[in-house]
Amino acid sequence: MEKKRVFSGIQPTGQIHLGNYLGAVKNWVDSQDEYENIFCVVNSHAITTTQNPKELREKTYELAGMLLACGIDMKKSNLFIQSEIDEHPALAWVFDCNISMGEMSRMTQFKDKSLKNPKNVNVGLFNYPVLMAADILLYQADGVPVGEDQKQHLELARNIAQRFNRDFGECFKIPEPMIPKIGARVMGLDEPANKMSKSFNGANHAIFLLDTPDEIMRKFKKATTDSQNSIVFDQKRAGLYNLLNIYEIFTHKDRRKIEDEFEGKGYGVFKTMVAEVVIEALRPIREKYEKLRSQKGYIEEVLNEGANKVRPIAKATYKKAKEFVGLV
């Protein structure tokens, strides 16, 4: 039976942290045998905020290296850089001309990001979800792994595809959201009410995949918990629940067994054990990344190979869409 095609992208801004890894990248890696995978470093999305050009290029290749180190296998998946495929912005323009300002104005992330960066509220930021729709629909994706905060953008992509198919002709598959049952929302260690983020300034907020073992241990030991004694899965105790969720994902243990394991133990022992399983899980990723970065030209070669494999899909979809709307 033909495998379903999955598309997902990640921005090259900041380092990959534990939330990115557990919420997205680990699921990509673990499902490679199950799906036909297309993964994209969405560097064009990154320039909706001010970027240093040299740093952006470096971060783009660094992120690609990290994805390979995490286990993206080019024999099973395709990995490429968004800006290497010209059909992304070209299809986005076709969509731009067939979507209302009112519908775009309802995108909540634009409002949130505008408040955070009031001096750089650009058209690209407003238009971000349309380019995201083009990214997805260009490859006729059956499914898109998304976090809760991206569900609205995927719904827009689905609406755009449905309208286009209705108004011009059958052109796009309607992608389905794929939300992992656990690990989809990892919270900050110091602010468990907030999702772990690259942009959060707290020194102990996020665990980055390239953090040293000492840094990881220190951050977990300072993680916010509460004044209670029992170590149990209780969503009302946000800090503890977040740490238990991380431990559950890395150990693959049943929740009841985890609670039994920590019965009668204090937070000090618990935090140390969580840190230890994370350190051991991230160690091979960090080592593989350092090896990949030392192989000059290898990452670029892999990305070029990925782009060459997916480019025919993108060209065929755009050609069809262009003809449907009457462009030569």
Catalytic residue chosen out of the listed positions 76, 198, 253, 315: 198
**Beta-bridge partner residues of 267:** none
Catalytic residue chosen out of the listed positions 3, 54, 111, 113: 113
- Indicate if 236 belongs to the active site: no
Q: Evaluate whether 114 touches 124 at the Cβ level (below 8 Å).
A: no
Q: Evaluate whether 6 touches 37 at the Cβ level (below 8 Å).
A: yes
- Indicate if 195 belongs to the active site: yes
Q: What does residue 212 show for φ and ψ, rounded to 5 degrees?
A: -75, 160
- Indicate if 253 belongs to the active site: no
The residue whose two tokens read 């519908």 is 103
Catalytic residue chosen out of the listed positions 3, 59, 151, 195: 195
CA distance linking residue 149 with residue 156, whole number of Å = 13
CA distance linking residue 16 with residue 25, whole number of Å = 9
- Catalytic positions: 113, 195, 198
